[in-house]
Structure 1
Amino acid sequence: MKFEELKSFLDEKANQYNAPDFIENDPIQIPHRFSVKQDIEIAGFLAATISWGNRKSIINSANKMLDLMGNSPYDFVLNYSERDLKDIQDKSIHRTFNGEDFSYFIKQFNRIYKDHESLEELFRVKDSETNFQHAIERFRSSFLQVEKHRSHKHISSPYKNSSAKRIIMFLRWMVRKDKRGVDFGIWENIDQKYLSIPLDVHTGNISRKLGLVERTQNDWKTVEELDVAIRKFDEKDPAKYDFALFGLGVTKELL
């Protein structure tokens, strides 16, 4: 397809899939159960962190975490007891993300929210930067601290050439100003122009099929290659095309 044809096609698909009925079967339904900013952030971050595999399974596992927090994530993070954490540590959560990981994340949230009103403060993008690569690494340093822990593997590093798909997806939820009611856009001080496409099997394969990227790996270098291509269509809201690419991948419309 020529540029204008491809842009028109992707705009149409973004418009089709960026709709409220997208929420029902997607992990984004988890933070949509809350209205308080910090509840949305915590529920969203946890749901995004375990977002690999079957979406139904992801949602069930996220529900399990909410139940363990009494369905009040922010209050639980601030006021948990050692007994609460001990009970959590032995739980099975989602695949390799276990109770030990969950309790570690809760403790890190507790520390961060004592010093910061919002996670947004840890993801600020500097003027000289073009995407969230360095912001994610700054967040990792703040959230994980220095000491080694098994839970570190659950927050990917672009510096190690990871696509950081789950964090990029979380950032889309928090940053993107969505008039359709899907993404929250509750972070007011970060421009959505810095957002990238969460790169996974679906979005990667469709991007190659459409000629948007040439690299065969789904890594950070491919994220940046896709950044260049997708921002030519809409430099102010590039992440809206995640809906188009993901929707096309799931429905196998182009196969």
Structure 2
Amino acid sequence: MNFEELKNFLNEKADQYNAPDFIENDPIQIPHRFSVKQDIEIAGFLAATISWGNRKSIIKSAEKILDIMGNSPYDFVLNYSEKDLENIQDKSIHRTFNGQDFSYFIKQFNRIYTEHESLENLFKVQEPEVNFLHAIERFRNSFLETEKHRSHKHISSPYKNSSAKRIIMFLRWMVRKDKRGVDFGIWENIDQKYLSIPLDVHTGNISRKLGLVSRTQNDWKTVEELDVAIRKFDENDPAKYDFALFGLGVTKELL
């Protein structure tokens, strides 16, 4: 395919998969259960954090998290008791994300929401930055306390060349604005032009098949290589192509 053919193909696929029925089988359904901004942020961040493995099991584990929080994430974060945290400590949550990690996240959320109205404040992109590389690292430094904790591994660092797939997915949910009903677009002060594609096995393999990237690793350098390619198609809304690449990966249409 030449440039225009590839652009049209990806636009068609993005349009096909960026639809409300996408929500039903995706972890984004978890924050879609809420209408209050902070509930959406907390539920979304936790669902994104545990988003590895089978999507059904991710959703099931996220529902367990919501149950523990009484289906009121923001209220729970602000008003939990030490007894609540004790009850969580030994629980199995999702794979290597356990009760200790969940408890740690709750404490960090409490501290952050005491100081900030929204997580958006911790993800601001500053001139002349072109993506979320430094913003993610600034968030990471704000969210994690300096003392080492096992939970640090659940917040990826692009400075260590991680693709930071789960954080980038969460950012798409919060930042990207359209009228299709999938992404929330509730962060008013961050431009979606800075968004990248959440890079995983599926999106990485499809990107290589389409000639969008040449690197073989799914790391931050590849995220930036993919940035360059997809922003030629739409520099103002590059993350919409996540729907195209993800959909092509799930349906195995290009195999």
Q: Does 1:200 pair with 2:213?
A: no
CA deviations 1:183-223 (Å, max 9, x no partner) are: 00000000000000000000000000000000000000000
Are positions 1:216 and 2:216 aligned together? yes
> TM-score, length-normalised on structure 1?
1.00
> What SS does the corresponding residue of 2:214 show, helix, strand or coil?
coil
**For residues 7-86 of structure 1, what are the structure 2 equivalents within 5 Å?**
7-86=7-86
CA RMSD of aligned residues (A): 0.3
Letter in 1 for 2:76: F
Who is 2:177 aligned against? 177
1:67-106 aligned at under 5 Å gives the runs: 67-106=67-106
Amino acid at match of 2:141: S
Structure 2 residue matching 1:136: 3-state secondary structure: helix
The percent of aligned pairs where both chains have the same amino acid is 90
CA distance in 1: counterparts of 2:202 and 2:175, whole angstroms? 22
Q: Describe the SS at the equivalent of 1:168.
A: helix
**Deviations 1:56-90 (Å, cap 9, x if unpaired)?**
00000000000000000000000000000000111
Return the alpha-carbon distance in structure 2 between the equivalents of residues 201 and 87 of structure 1: 36
- Cα distance in structure 2, aligned partners of 1:178 and 1:42: 21
- Structure 1 distance, partners of 2:151, 2:254, is 37
Q: Tell me, in whole angstroms, the C-alpha distance in 2 between the residues paired with 1:147 and 1:224.
A: 30
For residues 96-245 of structure 1, what are the structure 2 equivalents within 5 Å?
96-245=96-245
Counting matched residue pairs gives: 255
Which string of whole-angstrom CA distances, capped at 9 and with x for unpartnered residues, describes residues 23-44 of structure 1? 0000000000000000000000
SS at match of 1:93: strand
Amino acid at match of 1:181: G
Q: Distance in 1 between matches of 2:29 and 2:16?
A: 18
| Runs of at least 5 residues in structure 2 that lack an aligned partner in the other structure | none
TM-superposed deviation, 1:178: 2.2
